[in-house]
A and B are shown apart, each in its own frame.
Chain A
Amino acid sequence: MDTLILLRANMLRRKGTFVGIVLLMIIISMSMTAIMSVKTNVRESVDEAYEEADVADVFMDIPTKILPEDLLEKVRNHPMVDHVEVLEAVAITQTAFKDGQYANNWQVLPLDRHVVRMYNEDLSCYVDSIPEPSPDGFYVPLGIQTEFGCELGDTFTVKNSGCQWDLTVEGYIVEPICGASTIGSKTVYVARETFDKMLAESKEAEKNIENHLSVTMVMIYKADSCTLSDNKLARKLSQDTGLESYAYNASTRSQMKNYTVIYSDIVLSVMLAFISLLLGIVLIIMKHTISVSIDMNYTELGIMKAMGFTVKKIRILLSLQYVIAEAFGALVGTILSFPLIRALGNVFQPITGIKAKTNIVFFPSFPILILLLLMSCVFVFLVTRKAGQVSPVKAITGERGDVYFDKALTAPISGNALSLSLSFRQFTSSKRKYIAVTLIAAMLMFFMLTVNQMVNVMNSKSAMNAMGNMLAEVRVTDREDGISEEKVQEMQKIVESVAEIDAVYSTISQYISFDNVTMLSIVARDPNSFVISKGRAPLYDNEIAITDIIAEEFDLCIGDSVHIERRGMSGDYVISGIFLYISDVGHVTAMSYDAAKKLGTKEPYTVEFSLKDPKKSEAVYDALVAEYGDSMLIRYSETCWVDDTFTIAINAMQIMIYSFSIAFALVVVFMVCTKLFAQERRDIGIYKAVGFTSRKLRLLFAFRFMIVALFGSIIGTVLSFLFSNRLLEMLLRSMGVTTLTASHTFSSTLIPILLLLLSFFCFAFLASRKVKKVEVRELVIE
């Protein structure tokens, strides 16, 4: 009972501190619950969509004209296969939408049992039943809407060599396999009647045009008795039948699920790492607050001891106050996470193409919250051990330990810049008081700079290119005939007459069987255009380069030999080096055109021009269109087609991290400032007595906290320069990034520093408003 009375009284008396702890815990539990819930919701929604659509375990797209029926039969009869669904689809290699021409990898299918979900008009929910599209209409996955910004009623002209159809968007459907904007290939759906007509026309064209692509989609379902994972099954089937080497697209259920959620996973992981850091900040601030409280309530604690309270009881009392505040904050935060779950889930809908559930997920977020609370209980209890040092005699007689003032590294006050120098002096003469806040400022700065660096990577062409992304402003495609070396040189001259060229990429992407695993292979006419991190470029026709991720997964190193197959042709290749490339989550190989020719690869059909001045891309486009506009597909983009959706998600994450940092700075500054104010009340009276105004004293507080923020920022910046790259490499590895080359820019470093300094300054100025209430007469002893 006595504990309860004291607990209530203490919490009411120091409500400012506890309100601060509650606010911090609300932010943490709200964001942690929301992030974990959204992560689980996105994954579960994807899983459900896969189940509902009865997606196969292994699937591949094979050009119909080279489909080896005997190998397909082998697959059908394989003991690990339950059944195989084979669908003929109409391939789309090019589309025209509004004023643009686009090279595509789309397949058209009739609306079938695999399509079970369709969005309503405003994309807020799914409709109950899916009607048949009209003869000129089609249903597209949400990824197409994200990529093209199309609306219902918009018409696309879809093309394959010798064929062309106009199709109007009549609805957005959930296409779980490749409906995400992160996946290049797309499947669209038309009415059965329309499909039959398109397929007939496509087959007719195929007879006359050599390059006309027709596609057969092979969907393989695992037998119940098969215990292999889908990836292992794909490898086993490739080993046993060789069918996969004929596919131009091949994947497994788990790989496609992974591609669908990869961006949301990365963004949410970064945010979760940030929230963990915020939790660290809460522990630091609690340690600081408890320590200061014990100092300030020395007399009361001594009296309690004199009254018979044991040290253990006092420590439990002190700990309980903070744990109750934390638990209350965690509970309120969990309740408040509902709207955040919905908002965050909506951010990822255009990326995954699937409506995420809006459930609050109690597992694992709730057990983690409880675990964190238990850990903080132990932490708080440990921190309160200082209460054991309180002496009842000293407390009652008013005798206290020596007042600590650090004389080392103090700075003199100057008459010329009195406020600033006095603030600096106040900071340097009691540095220990500010360690916690400095550390917090450093942690916030580290994370803000790390996120900035991530944004810099995503928005910087040079950074992306240095990571092997081959971004260029102008792209020329000729899928029918390919683009010969002579043509590339001709184009280069035209481009050079308009703008300075940074790099030319003449490439083709194809899927190969790499030691029986289907993998993307980038073929470049100039192998030196690959970014090599170890070894050298695959210059010769028996060489191949691999990524770090492949080297690790297959336990390969430079000099090892690998077996490559493609459409019945094969060869052994020596690994010449490790290269960087962000595609297919790092499962990519690279070779020269000469090496690819041995696998039957045709002439590279894409040439890209990276310009030194992106603003000249339209002029380059005009010049190339004038010469090749009739025979080739030419496109340009000043932003090199960097994925807008991901940029939006990254920017949303940046805004959230900045907002939380500022909110945390606000609460922390208020909490620390309130304690300082209580400790320095007498000094404030003295300053007023010698002629300082309240405003000047508040400025002293504000400058002091700005100085603390400056030291914290310097530490955070140094830490960021040392560790941000490593942290990001760890977080982005799932995206295929193993070496991050982005550096801090002047503005991306300066802006968060200024923001933090300004926040600390303003918040301390606001928090010190009670200075006005201090009267000089408080110094009087009557």
Chain B
Amino acid sequence: MENRLTAYWLAAPSALIFVVLFIAPMAFFVVLSFWQVDYFVLTPAATLANYRDVFVNYWHVMAFTVALATATAVVTTLAGFVFSFLARFRAGKWAQALLFIVLITLFGGYLMKIYAWKTILGNEGVLNTALIAMGFISTPITTLLYSPQAVVITLVHFSLPFAVLPIYASMRGVTDIEVEAARDLGAGRWATLATVIVPRCQAGIVAGFSFVFLITAGDYVTPLLVGGKQTMIGNLIAPQFGAQFNWPLGAAMSLVMLLVAVAVIFVFRTLVAWWSRP
């Protein structure tokens, strides 16, 4: 009994942090999402109007956000997997160096990367200039910058470390013996990858996908700067807590988006589990 009490006491500080920083704000937003604003004053209410607003007026922005975030997360997870695979099984003593490079890019700064891509993708950017100089095209490809593709490219670059790190961590748990056993039992390279390595890295793959999806779905700076006129849901949520002063609508948008994100991650996790079934 005493042991149990001690355990509770020891867990109390983290429980407190969890409640104060995660549960309480979330609960506040849930309540807020049923309120309304009358001439810049938050007024308690029990209205579903905000949710109605979300589904009637903003569903297409939400759908676009989910599509873009899913595309980004899938591409990034694949790239992260390939990178981790090379680092774990092919790079030998260079593995640490490769990982170090991944970590270094985290220090590069978020805005820095966005502006770098603007320089690369623009009409007079590095890529178009090079393609024209090499004679592949005669006029600049205008869809490189200020397009959904530009947003995906920039976000993949930014979020790659968040996919690499958990996937590599789980891949380190796959021993050479397991791989050799699979090969001894007659599995080819692809079969080994599909039936041994991927299933053993399930947790890392799902974690990497989730990180990237959540970062992307909530981002509103990248679409603003390289997306041209692309609007993601974050671009509409942020002003609700600023110039628009409509916290209830902002809260409703956030909560709906949160639920959608959880659903997407759940579907992805189920797919990975199905793939990895014995």
A and B form one complex? no
Binding site for B on A (CB under 8 A): none
